[in-house]
Structure 1
């Protein structure tokens, strides 16, 4: 084969790769959530799978890992979310606020006689009721939509199985196929691992701790429907800027409105010092192994990931942006080396 024929063959293969790659993206697009979720779960349970694989063999170890994941994680999570959905509907139906006149009188007493009571009655009570019911109704709708994930259950399980069993071979194949030197490939793989740890383990650890602390505070002040509050706090704590305060601050306001001033003050102090303050303790511990994500990259990555990938984008978005930054850094390093 001449050099010209070789170039034409390579060009045609590249063209075919573009066509087949575009068609492949169209094929997997409907199952993108399931595929990305399987990748994240495989990353989390890989250490367990490696140990079981050494003892039971790769295939048997992978099957046992998946069964353990389903029994220990998936089933309790489905039960908790289902219970939270029921409690969300219950909260939306039974949420009772004082009548408009009572609310107006209390606020006028706190704010002073200069406030016109007519400004604090009907509109305020109506807004509080509408906002509270709207919040709970929207959350119930989101939780109810989780059942749609069952459509991609088969894709998820098969993808998880092959990622766990053949993940190392897949990574090695990517290293051979990519036109990168070994040192650069190792750095990118290591950076991806650090980004995944920061985006998944770090955020989940913080959200889990804040959910537990919030539930403990709500139990102390006598709130019911604990499963709902736990799931709501966990989900909202995954979002930057918002965090658990979006749950406990309205609860403080509710306690003020219903006239339970000691409980409101206690929950406010507890939420400020313990719940929100836990972020400063838990996150550094959880992120010791992970990458130090820039706050701007984290915020844009999480909200952008949510918009593009749905819930799983909470974790995928920051990884994509962080990896993009790492690629730019590699290009700059190589350019500087060539300039020397």
Structure 2
């Protein structure tokens, strides 16, 4: 006969009670540790993840239409939408980027050659000296020559550095864009499951969670469709105007105008005013005035009419907030700050509105209750 198994050792009641007390604390320590580890692993893809969510918010309507057209086949609809994103985003950006690199190098080389031979730019420098003289700033030929050779050296080094950087960045952009397209594909397929999972983890009421998602979608569409399209149009019209009046590298300066057009108030004037001064220095005073008036008129129209209608009233922020969020985003995150800055600002404003409507009264009630308990 086999001996019966020994009974398991009993756990003292006080030990079981201690485990029940320590279990939640230990669980949250493990949870926070693994969450930090996950954040560290995903840190190189932070920009890709944000770009993925933005593209999904922007193209989700297209995905739904393709899904209905394909009879509910999610994988096929997601693959078609991802291919459409590649055609709409990657190909135009690649063509424009290649043109910008070629034109930028040509512009830098032309500027270097001109500055390396001051005789070729003597008329321009003479006009600049006369203009500065009217302001009480006098330069002699020695100062001009020294500044000229210094500028030529700086431009030459800068052109070489930017060409190398553009080549390296081109490979990096291709890799990250491929990652984004893959994430878009899977997020379109399983986005609803991910949304339900996150909502189940969140302690917020469902209507507040939906409001945050709605604001993210509105801002994403507003920035990319409204602000983006309006800024691109300003850059296109500005580049055409520069080509008409004979300013060198119109594609390059048009792209610069597109970026600056994201800034309210100042915007394209940061490019238009120096270009106007250049035209006047080379003797095209009337052309410079007409160029300035046209660029500022189209910028005002696109900024206050087209952008407003495309973005809608719900995503509009005060111009000062937009200005600070874009500048702060650029300073903190680089080019991606054009998107991150407004997104973070709108997220804060949405949470502040939720606090004003819901949580302010609850916090006040808790403070009053705690005060009454302490007084009692």
TM-based fold match above 0.5: yes
- Asked if structure 1 preserves the Cα contact closer than 8 Å seen for 2:272 and 2:295, the reply is yes
Distance 1:123 1:108, change over 3 A: closer
**Does 2:183 correspond to 1:159?**
yes
Match of 1:198 among 219, 222, 228: 222
Name the residue aligned to 2:28: 14
**Alignment: residue pair count:** 340
The offset of 1:321, in angstroms, is: 2.4
The offset of 1:210, in angstroms, is: 0.5
**SS class of match (2:283):** coil
**Does 2:308 correspond to 1:284?**
yes
TM-score normalised to structure 1 length: 0.85
Give the greater-gyration-radius structure (CA).
2
Name the residue aligned to 2:123: 102
**SS class of match (1:174):** helix
Comparing 127-136 with 18-27, which one deviates more in the overlay? 127-136
- State the Cα deviation string for residues 313-338 of structure 1 (Å, max 9, x = none): 21122111221232233233323443
Name the residue aligned to 1:77: 93
Comparing 300-309 with 27-36, which one deviates more in the overlay? 300-309
- Asked if structure 1 preserves the Cα contact closer than 8 Å seen for 2:67 and 2:74, the reply is yes
Distance 1:36 1:123 in 2: 49
The offset of 1:5, in angstroms, is: 5.3
Distance 2:145 2:346 in 1: 44
- Asked if structure 2 preserves the Cα contact closer than 8 Å seen for 1:197 and 1:290, the reply is no
Name the residue aligned to 1:303: 327
**SS class of match (2:203):** coil
Distance 1:256 1:200 in 2: 36
Distance 2:164 2:342 in 1: 26
The offset of 1:109, in angstroms, is: 5.6
Name the residue aligned to 1:252: 276
Distance 1:135 1:217, change over 3 A: farther
Distance 1:296 1:134, change over 3 A: farther
**SS class of match (2:216):** helix
- Asked if structure 2 preserves the Cα contact closer than 8 Å seen for 1:38 and 1:156, the reply is yes
- Asked if structure 2 preserves the Cα contact closer than 8 Å seen for 1:91 and 1:136, the reply is no
**Ranges in structure 2 where 5+ consecutive residues have no aligned partner:** 1-15, 366-376
**SS class of match (1:293):** coil
The offset of 1:270, in angstroms, is: 1.2
Name the residue aligned to 2:267: 243
Distance 1:222 1:293 in 2: 37
Distance 1:303 1:64, change over 3 A: same
- State the Cα deviation string for residues 288-317 of structure 1 (Å, max 9, x = none): 154222334323332333344332221122
TM-score normalised to structure 2 length: 0.78
Distance 1:106 1:223, change over 3 A: closer
The offset of 1:76, in angstroms, is: 1.9
Distance 1:246 1:325, change over 3 A: same
Name the residue aligned to 2:7: none
Distance 1:309 1:114 in 2: 39
Distance 2:264 2:20 in 1: 52
Specify which structure has the bigger relative contact order, considering alpha-carbon pairs within 8 angstroms and separated by 6 or more residues.
1
Name the residue aligned to 2:75: 59
**Does 2:229 correspond to 1:229?**
no
CA RMSD of aligned residues (A): 3.4
Comparing 210-219 with 237-246, which one deviates more in the overlay? 237-246
The offset of 1:275, in angstroms, is: 2.9
